[in-house]
Amino acid sequence: MIRFVGLCKSFGTKSVLDGVDVTIGKGEVFFIIGQSGVGKSVLIKHLIGLLRPDRGEIYLDDQEISRLTERQYFAVRRRCGMVFQHSTLFDSLTCLENVALPIRKHKHLGKKKALVEAHKRLEQVHMEEFAQTFPAALGDGMRKRVAIARTLTMDPEFVLFDEPTTGLDPVSARRVDVLIRELADRLHVTCVVVSHDLTSIFSIADRIVMLYKGKVRLLGTRDEFRRSADPIVRQFITGSAEGPME
């Protein structure tokens, strides 16, 4: 279980999160939606200690984690993987080496064995033919799949996906949807997904939260979102240019 309580965060004078309360259940596929720049990435980065809140608390299975030291956060990060919006693969390593790195570091395998396991992980995301390619030579979508494979090597209990389908072709995007749903259904991994992709949202989300102006606008199931009368929510999920949204 993940729980944000009254989370506030500003950068300089600019307030991004202004009292966010969200509870995410175990094994859930939980979507975070909202306009670009509303603070979705900022919110999930707090969970693994890449950012620290100005006020508020964060609970991971009843442990308050927002005041842990950088070192103590390592334990949290092993349980809670993150796939970044911009993949963040390491330029200096091939795709295979990228995926092998956390295996080598955390499973204490030699380099050879780590590479063998990394290759299996790449097959899961259909990227094995690019094993020896450097990330710079790949498109955004392919990099993202490699990044997903790299995060999953740690067999995390929670995975944070930051816009996992943005920049992917429709087929790859649906494959990622299936992968996320399977993680939740088969391995009971809690998946927190930041997304604008209406197709993903309405096909695999268990529950959804919409952020607007630093606060929770609506939290509910897919049906609750479809039925919502809130003009701002309506404008977002219908994707129309006209409306009350700023």
Partner 1 sequence: MTESLAQLEVAAKQPGRVSRGAERVVRRIGRSVVGIAQQTGGILVLLGKIVRRFFPPDIDYYELKRNLHKMGNRSLPIIGLTSVFVGAIMVVQASAYVQQFSATAFVGWGAGYVILRELGPILIALMFSGRVGANNTAELGTMVVTEQIDGLRSLAIDPISYLIVPRFLSMIGMLFILTVFGNLIALCGAALFGQLTLGIEWRVFFHGITELLKPWDVYVGLIKSLVFGLIIALSSCYFGLAVRGGAPGVGRAVNASVVASAVGIFVSDYFLTFLVD
Ligand X SMILES: Nc1ncnc2c1ncn2[C@@H]1O[C@H](COP(=O)(O)OP(=O)(O)O)[C@@H](O)[C@H]1O
Residues that bind partner 1 (CB under 8 A): 45, 48-50, 70, 73-75, 77-78, 81-82, 84, 86, 88-92, 101-102, 105-106, 111, 150-151, 154
- Applying CB under 5 A, the span of 67-75, 83-91, 180-188, 210-218 interacting with Mg ion comes to 83-91
**Residue 238 interacting entry, from ligand X, partner 1, Mg ion, none, C-beta within 5 to 8 Å by type:** none
C-beta of 34 vs 102, nearer to Mg ion: 34
Contact 71, 62 (CB under 8 A): no
**Residue 39 interacting entry, from ligand X, partner 1, Mg ion, none, C-beta within 5 to 8 Å by type:** ligand X
- DSSP per-residue letters across 90-126: -TTS-HHHHHHHHHHHHS---HHHHHHHHHHHHHHTT
Going by C-alpha positions, the residue among 171, 173, 230 that lies closest to residue 196 is 173
- CA 97/CA 115 separation, integer angstroms: 7
Query: Which residues of the shown chain bind ligand X in the complex (CB under 6 A)?
Result: 11, 16, 34, 36-42
Q: Which of residues 20-49 bind Mg ion (CB under 5 A)?
A: 41
C-beta of 103 vs 209, nearer to Mg ion: 209
Residue 16 CB, shortest distance to partner 1, in Å, is 17
C-beta of 41 vs 200, nearer to Mg ion: 41
**Residue 214 interacting entry, from Mg ion, partner 1, ligand X, none, C-beta within 5 to 8 Å by type:** none
Contact 38, 18 (CB under 8 A): no
- CA 60/CA 47 separation, integer angstroms: 8
Q: Token pair of 243, please? A: 């409306």
**Residue 16 interacting entry, from Mg ion, ligand X, partner 1, none, C-beta within 5 to 8 Å by type:** ligand X
Q: Kindly tell me the sign of the dihedral angle through the C-alpha atoms of 142, 148, 150, 152.
A: negative
